Amino acid sequence: MPIHLGAKNKGVFVSATASITAGASGRYAIALFEIAKEAGKLAAVEADLDSLQGALDESADLRDLISSPLLSRDEQGKALRALTDKMGLGAEVANTVALMAENRRLFVLPEMIAQVKALAAEDRGEVSAAVTAAKALTDKQSTALAAALKKSVGKDVKVNVAVDKELIGGLIVKVGSVMIDSSLRNKLNNLQNAMKEVG
């Protein structure tokens, strides 16, 4: 199902399953999703993951902690265990985070959170769009984007926005197996590649 947000945008099709299972984050996401669903705690796990993502969004120190190669797995594990305990997160999320720390995979925590939420939305029959933008979208922009996506998909779309300042401008939108990269960074890369071919 191609999505058209502009005449020049082209959808890049990727397998939904492959995009979730590829990489370190996918294994943790699928395991956490299956554990939560089997225990009937999917809503609670999603709420815990929202809280954890909120903490990551608000704290540069926490983002540094999960990505620092200078800290030992034990130091990372203790710090994250203290955080999950203080936040009152359930055993499913706390144990997954502890396992990720033990295996030195905390750097993929944001991706794992997004993937669990995508699996949960798919399980409920919801359509969600993962949007990466150079800066936070206004309510008006989010509403307009959701309306444009609904027109293409034919269903209500929940828009989840992440900010990546390296994009410079534009958006990367992923809905199911369709990805549209209209970011300025991608356009500049394409232009640079075209110029290399000419030169």
Q: Which of 116, 150, 175 is the last residue of a domain?
A: 116
Q: Which of 64, 84, 116 is the last residue of a domain?
A: 116
Question: Do both 170 and 193 map to the same domain?
Answer: yes
Please state, in angstroms and rounded to a whole number, the distance separating the CA atoms of residues 56 and 54: 5
Question: Do both 111 and 186 map to the same domain?
Answer: no
Q: Which residue type, as a one-letter code, is found at position 131?
A: V
pLDDT digits (tens, 9 = 90+) for 77-127: 999 999 999 999 999 999 999 999 999 999 999 989 988 988 888 888 777
Q: What is the mean pLDDT of residues 172-192?
A: 68
Question: Do both 107 and 171 map to the same domain?
Answer: no
Q: How many domains does the chain have?
A: 2
What CATH number is given to the structural domain containing 92?
A: 1.10.520.20
Q: What is the DSSP letter of 13?
A: E
- Percentage above 70 pLDDT, the chain: 78
Output the pLDDT for position 132: 84
Q: Tell me which residue range forms the domain holding 170.
A: 126-198
